Amino acid sequence: MKRLAILGSTGSIGTQALEVVSSHPDLFQVEVLSAHGNTDLLIAQALKYKPNAVVVTNEDKYEIVKKALESSHTKVFVGQAALMDVVRWDTVDVVVGAIVGFAGLHSIYAAVDAGKRVALANKETLVVAGDLVMKRAMETGASIIPVDSEHSAIFQCLVGEYHESIEKIILTASGGPFRGKKPNFLVNVKASHALQHPNWTMGAKITIDSATLMNKGLEMIEAKWLFGLQNEQIDVIVHPQSAIHSFVQFIDGSLKAQAGVPDMKLPIQYALAYPQRLTNSFKRFEFKDFATLSFEEPDYKTFRNLALAKDAMYKGGNTPCVLNAANEITVQAFLQNRVDFLEMSDIIEKTISKVSYIASPSFEDYEECDAEARKYAEELVKKSPLATH
């Protein structure tokens, strides 16, 4: 029986992780749930799964949750510090890191510091501070099992292989809803269009990142740290069918690929149960559904976020942290119709050029850079023609 702390339990990954738990009640037990604002769902989850504790990171919501659960045995805690405490509990075996964005960094680092197994869906943790997180994982014996479908695919392809045999990894991208489109089309798209992903069902932030291809850029940076790779060992290919989730190419020229239907419950279940594979009733891959598998080079010129992320990976230091912070601000602004689609790249690029470069940042440097980048990006958002009308 593995006891789970599911951080971000009301989001897309968190809710699907709980579906996996429900399918295997003999193997998984919920010890901790956490959420920020969706208190109704958090309360419903707590009443169903009866965790030892829930953590509400939004202090304004604490009393609501505490009152709703006062007749249960579930303890209710509030704030980021409480979240960092509960992941260290001896009663927690696996921490599911499903909080979106920079907000998930501190609790994941605390879990790594405590030597826990982390099922990592929060790619921003490694984008921002991958050097510090992976170094600490080596020191404490913490294991990080990726939940992102692409990184899970690579992880599965590398089981039983020697690290020195890797020539490169190839992350696949669906291309999002605007694959093949040019700037004269993209200048007019709205958030409602960008949220219509052709293959995957995800939360709003990651869906917008997929539309801009920033998601794939963040995944490149995450993969660098997760698998201990050099920049030139990481590549991206657009694969519209999303059947092959990524490739590993070895030094002898052979390729390994991991394929499956686009269902996030598959990599979630794999991360929770590793090294076991569990039976399930998920939809199976049918070759007749994929008469054609196609691949094409990404359009770095039109989808500039991918190019900016790749450049940030090569530059290193605090640049990926700044990139991520500016991206989080612009995505939120785009969802609020305060900037247009192409303007997001302009704001991210200007923010990277504004924030001073630090080659070897400390944890405190990352926090300061994140705050500075957010402030500057928000100032640029306020000057957008959309925001001023």
Question: Beta-carbon neighbour count of residue 23 at 10 Å?
Answer: 16
Task: Please tell me the total count of domains within the chain.
Answer: 1
Residue 199 has pLDDT above 80, yes or no: no
Residue 357 lies in a domain: no
Residue 209 lies in a domain: no
Distance of alpha carbon 122 from alpha carbon 146, whole angstroms: 9
Is residue 244 in a domain? no
| Least confidently predicted of 33-47, 195-209, 243-257, 286-300 | 195-209
Report the CATH number at residue 46: 3.40.50.720
pLDDT above 70 (res 198): no
Neighbour tally for 344: CB within 10 Å: 27
Residue 84: which domain range? Answer: 2-146
Peptide bond into 385 cis (omega under 30): no
Other beta carbons within 10 angstroms of residue 365's beta carbon come to 15
Q: What is the DSSP track for 235-265?
A: EEEE-TT--EEEEEEETTS-EEEEE--S-TH
Phi and psi angles of residue 171, each rounded to the nearest 5 degrees, phi first: -85, 130
Flag whether 132 is in a domain: yes
Edge-first strand order for the sheet with 143-146 is 75-78, 53-56, 28-35, 2-7, 94-97, 117-120, 143-146
Give dist(CA 325, CA 361) in Å, integer: 15
Residue matched to tokens 């006062």: 70
Q: What percent of the chain has pLDDT over 90?
A: 89
Query: Does residue 294 belong to any structural domain of this protein?
Result: no
In a domain, 154, yes or no: no
| 170, containing H or E segment | strand 166-173
Q: How far apart are CA 92 and CA 105, in angstroms?
A: 18
Angstrom distances, CA of residue 190 to CA of 194, 297, 330: 7, 25, 13
Give the pLDDT mean for 168-173. 97
Residue 138 belongs to some domain of the structure: yes
Residue 201 has pLDDT above 80, yes or no: no
Residue 126, in any domain of the structure: yes
